[in-house]
Amino acid sequence: MIPILQLDTQYSEIQEELESAVLSALRSTAYINGPEVKDFEAEFAEWHGVDGAVGVGSGTEALHLAVRALDLGPEDEVISPAFTFIASAGAIALAGAKPAFCDIEPCLFNIDVEDLRKRINKNTKAIVVVHLFGHPAPMDEILEIAKEHNLVVIEDCAQATGAEYKGRKVGTMGDYGCFSFFPSKNLGGIGDGGMVLAKKPEDLEKIRILKSHGSKVKYYHDMLGTNSRLDTVQAAALRVKLKHLAKWNEQRRRVAARYIENLNGHIQVPGEAKDCKHVFHQFTTRVPNRDEFKKLLEEQGVGSMIYYPVSLHQQGAFKHLGYADDDFPVTRKAQEEVLSLPMFPELTNEQVDEISNKVKSILAQSATVTA
């Protein structure tokens, strides 16, 4: 079986440095706000070419705190794409504002800027821009729309650490950049973790206060905050892994290039927009008879996943927003057709060829599965 994701090869590659860093953090007993947290924040900021970064408990918390920092009320709307992971919009609702959705474009699965324009109204205050599957969203157009309407831009970079748009890393273009270190991510930790970048130092400082119980000085609470920390052991592991991230992203690009060479013309493969650097968190194809195709692939020993089978406007959690099923036609079609194939940096050329040959033979032999 070739699984959709396998972490053990990577673990073996860095086992010595990882275990030594984690053991040293463990032995230090400085489990909360130990020196590794500050060091990792500084290194993550430097890697992105920005002045500062704030470590938090998860990618969800990074987004939640960024929306919280805007001090929005229940009438204020924040737009996110309908086709993304729940956290992109869940964060909006959890922070007390109203999520609103927009459609995506069909090739790269990111925000459709024309639809975004149509969804803006007098209550719209911000946009959560998701760089889905590792491909940057069209930031120039989005930033222009935001400027025109005076909207805050929060980048959800959970799936795209290291992706670039016109030479700029994702997370450094909007007002806030929110990252996840969930273990399967391009920069994956050994548990949960997240990071926030912000364009203005005062916005970053507000995130730091909000994630520390609203407190700048211990036991003095100027605002209501929460407890959302990146823990020391996590930071120690992530410091080791950050050093390998550029190489791992290049390896993902190598895997994707080989898939594309093998499968182009047989199945719809992911694209890459001009001046963008895709970091292939996922390698997401589209197949009209997707469920049958997935089953046949599984029978041939190839793992795959559907990201995402139900778009956000159809989720039970957002039913009260009153959207109709067909409000976002491109999203709706995508959720019926997307299938992500195995993708991780350590996939060998032989494995990619084996998967590709199986895909091609299913497409050639099945009476019901067509590309």
Q: Three-state DSSP class for 326?
A: helix
Which residue among 40, 101, 165, 182 contacts ligand PLP (CB under 6 A)? 182
Check binding of 237 to ligand PLP (CB under 6 A). Answer: no
Give bridge partners of residue 220 from the DSSP assignment. Answer: 217
| Residue closer to ligand PLP (CB basis): 194 or 225 | 194
**Interacting positions 188-207 with ligand PLP (CB under 6 A):** 192, 194
One-letter amino acid for residue 273 of the chain: A
Shortest Å, Cβ 267 to ligand PLP: 23
What length is written for the chain? 371
DSSP classification of residue 193:
-
Check binding of 90 to ligand PLP (CB under 6 A). Answer: no
**Interface segment toward ligand PLP; rule CB under 6 A; list 85-93, 136-144, 227-235, 331-339:** 85-93
| Residue closer to ligand PLP (CB basis): 81 or 345 | 81
Distance separating alpha carbons of residues 10 and 248, to the nearest angstrom? 9
**Interface segment toward ligand PLP; rule CB under 6 A; list 5-13, 45-53, 151-159, 227-235:** 151-159
Structure tokens that stand for 136 in this block: 């940057």
| Residue closer to ligand PLP (CB basis): 124 or 228 | 228
**Interacting positions 8-67 with ligand PLP (CB under 6 A):** 58-60
Tell me if 290 sits within 8 A of 339, measured CB to CB.
yes
| Cα angle 134-200-124, degrees, rounded to a multiple of 5 | 70
Tell me if 195 sits within 8 A of 53, measured CB to CB.
yes
> Nearest-CA neighbor of 196 among 100, 60, 299?
60
Which residue among 110, 124, 161, 180 contacts ligand PLP (CB under 6 A)? 180
Summarize as ranges the residues that interact with ligand PLP (CB under 6 A).
58-60, 84-85, 87-88, 130, 156, 158-159, 180, 182, 192, 194
